[in-house]
A and B are shown apart, each in its own frame.
Chain A
């Protein structure tokens, strides 16, 4: 049992549940920033005179996709560095990226569907952009299910690293399909919309001013803060597992 004590003392992650000072500060700034961008999108920005109030969901819908892009991008980085260096911290980052990115993707998908109901008069249509976004969500949901199904740690980390890298193809397809496939009704805000696009609106100075802080928040602060919390939790879960293994082996 002395060994357990030594391990517990050695592993400060298990001893303290309070997040580090920088993470607490980052969390506070993220919460304030989230409130601030909500204020900009919901109160300060003018109502779109053609779409009405529902247009305001755009200030979350589009940034949440880019937040997912950051998170899934870090999954690629984490997976690649795990394969190259073998350190489990990179695998934790990859896992955190998938969990956070999947949450953001669901926000993107569901807010888009809710916007579509009053604007397109349907909750869902098998448009190329919508279909690719749904496939993206399912691909990353499968990541989590597969990961839970592999017992061997080394095999699990290696396999999921490769999966996380390959899955990013679905993110790129979702991002660029609208520029490649003309048969889409999904509007484009930056640049020319496809010919069949429905529900677009002009990126006036008001739209851009409300969008940019939200985009910056979802692109950087939100995914990084949430992923840091998730990485920290995974470190503690790993440490706890090691501790359990020692207890069981004695």
Chain B
């Protein structure tokens, strides 16, 4: 019995040590570090302050006064989820969005919303429905020196490899400017792709084609950090994916394992009982004969 207890203690110690080693798996997808919750996954933004909680991912950059947040909001409509998320989390009193559109990405239809909250705050949001809940990815910027906006637009002319038409749409909708008022600058190659760049007086616009959509970033002001912010936001947007909830299949699989093992052990037990019964019968016969 002493030996059994020692074996059990050794086993438990080994399990505890092994469990400690396992944390390395969490939040990894290949070599990319991922924030992982039970509902969704997004890449962790390097160089940003990680303010994530158990069920939301939030990254903040103090210098740019920008926050990128991904969360699930319980709402029947994606637009309601977006509004609820901005109001509840950031405490914004929302006016109607200054831009609203829809775009079909690989994982479903996303609503694109841009809000001017106050003189120094803007919010760019992507939201989509996922069952009875809404997924909301928001970019909030509170820099008085700049007005930075992000939006995704279905490609206007899919024969073009660059995002100039979509940049023009964004400039006109959100800054009241024509593309001809800006100068085309050298393209920028970022980890997310090749970005078309336009620059004007205190205005910068960038756009990238990915799939059939254009990812556009605008900045009015002199902050000069648009490329870094656009990269971070689109890294989140393009890297986002929902973890499927298939735990019921796992439960079914485990039930099958237990049933088969129980059937095997049970049949051994049942047959052993039959041996004992037969033996008792034979002994009874032997006694009667004697």
What residues make up the interface of A, taking CB atoms closer than 8 Å to B? 1, 4-5, 8, 14, 17, 25, 28-29, 32-33, 36, 39-40, 42, 44-47, 49-54, 56-57, 60-61, 64, 99-100, 103, 106-107, 110-111, 114-115, 117-118, 202, 204-207, 209-210, 213, 226, 229-230, 233, 236-237, 240, 243-244, 247
Contacts and interface: CB of A to CB of B under 8 A. Distances in A.
A44 B289 contact: no
B101 interface: no
Sorted nearest first, the 3 A-B pairs with minimum C-beta distance are: A206-B25, A46-B26, A46-B25
Given A40-B18, A107-B256, 10 more contacts: A28-B7, A29-B11, A32-B7, A57-B254, A107-B261, A110-B260, A115-B253, A205-B25, A230-B268, A247-B286
Contacts of A207: 25
B217 to A, nearest CB: 27
- B interface majority secondary structure: helix
15 contacts: A8-B283, A14-B275, A25-B7, A40-B22, A46-B26, A46-B27, A47-B26, A49-B241, A51-B246, A54-B249, A60-B253, A107-B260, A209-B25, A229-B268, A237-B275
Interface of B: 3-4, 7-8, 11-12, 14-15, 18-19, 21-30, 34, 36, 38, 41, 241, 243-247, 249-250, 252-254, 256-257, 260-261, 263-265, 268, 271-272, 275-276, 278-279, 282-283, 285-286, 289-290
A49 B36 contact: yes
A151 B24 CA distance: 57
Select the residue from B19, B34, B253 with max chain A CB neighbours within 10 A. B253
Contacts of B254: 42, 57, 60
B38 A47 contact: yes
Nearest to A237: B275
Contacts of B286: 1, 4-5, 247
A233 B249 contact: no
B250 A56 contact: yes
A32 B11 contact: yes
A32 B268 contact: no
B1 to A, nearest CB: 10
Nearest to A204: B25
Contacts of A244: 278, 282
A46 B36 contact: yes
A204 B8 CA distance: 28
A39 B26 CA distance: 16
A32 B271 contact: no
A125 to B, nearest CB: 16
Given A53-B246, A240-B275, A114 B21 contact: no
B253 A114 contact: yes
A206 B26 contact: yes
Contacts of B272: 17, 233, 236
A14 B11 contact: no
A159 B205 CA distance: 81
B29 A50 contact: yes
Nearest to A207: B25
Contacts of A247: 282, 285-286
A144 B8 CA distance: 37
Contact of B249 (A39, A115, A202, A204): A115
Given A45-B25, A56-B250, A207-B25, A39 B282 contact: no
B2 to A, nearest CB: 12
B264 A205 contact: no
Contacts of B268: 226, 229-230, 233
Given A115-B249, A117-B249, A240-B279, A49 B34 contact: yes
Nearest to A114: B253
A115 B260 CA distance: 17
B10 to A, nearest CB: 10
A103 B263 CA distance: 9
A28 B268 CA distance: 17
Contacts of B256: 107, 110-111, 114
Nearest to A36: B15
Contacts of A45: 22, 25
Given A39-B15, A49-B27, A237 B243 contact: no
B27 A118 contact: no
Nearest to A28: B4
